[in-house]
Amino acid sequence: MYENDHIEPEFLKRQKKNPFQTPEQYFETLEDRILKNITNENQTKARSFKLIKFIKPALGIAASITLIYLVMQAPIELRMFSKVAQKNIPNINATTPAEEYSFLLTSTDENTLINAISSGETNDQEDINQDEVLAYLSTGLNDVEIYSEIQN
């Protein structure tokens, strides 16, 4: 269809000529260069294959040793960890006062201590009698003031 519906353009009637050139002796030396490249590539491949072949068993052994080490090490580390954890638990069954004191020091943190102190203070204030307070205050008051306080 495309060949028949079109009048051949002028440029297609011109004589065809390859305008490109190659360097001298290019095609004569091409084969050798290509074969040399292929040989080099094969040698590189063979070398890397040899290297892998050489390294592969060593890598296998190293991987096995690491695996064995991890497998052996895991229970040991677990046991060590549980021993250390047991050591660090405070002895709550201590009986002597020194042990009790030591236990309190190690198991009491700052906040607990402040709460304990402030809770003590609150109790002291609650223990004070209302009448005592009034009596204490009355020492600096005159009779009229005392009377008015009692009335209120």
Partner 1 sequence: MTNDQQILDDLKDPSKKELAFKHLLSKYKERLYWHIRKIVLNHDDADDILQNTFIKIWNGIDSFRAESSLFTWLYRIATNESITFLNQKKRKSAINLNEENEYLIEHLESDPYFNGDEWQMLLQKAIATLPDKQRLVFNMKYFDEIKYEEMSEILDTSVGALKASYHHAVKKIEEYVKSNETVIRL
Which residues, at least 6 apart from 15, have a Cβ–Cβ distance to it below 8 Å? none
Candidates 12-20, 55-63, 93-101, 116-124: pick the segment binding partner 1 (CB under 8 A): 12-20
User: In angstroms, rounded to a whole number, what is the distance separating the alpha carbons of residues 139 and 117?
Assistant: 31
In the chain, the N- to C-terminal Cα span, in Å, equals 123
Which CB, 45 or 53, lies closer to partner 1? 45
Which CB, 10 or 132, lies closer to partner 1? 10
Kindly state whether residue 98 participates in binding partner 1, applying the rule CB under 8 A: no
DSSP designation for 5: S
Question: Do residues 94 and 103 make contact, with C-beta atoms less than 8 angstroms apart?
Answer: yes
Which CB, 29 or 106, lies closer to partner 1? 29
Question: Do residues 107 and 116 make contact, with C-beta atoms less than 8 angstroms apart?
Answer: no
What residues between 14 and 53 interact with partner 1 by CB under 8 A?
14, 16-23, 26-27, 30-31, 33-35, 37-38, 41
Chain residues binding partner 1 by CB under 8 A are: 1-3, 6, 9-12, 14, 16-23, 26-27, 30-31, 33-35, 37-38, 41
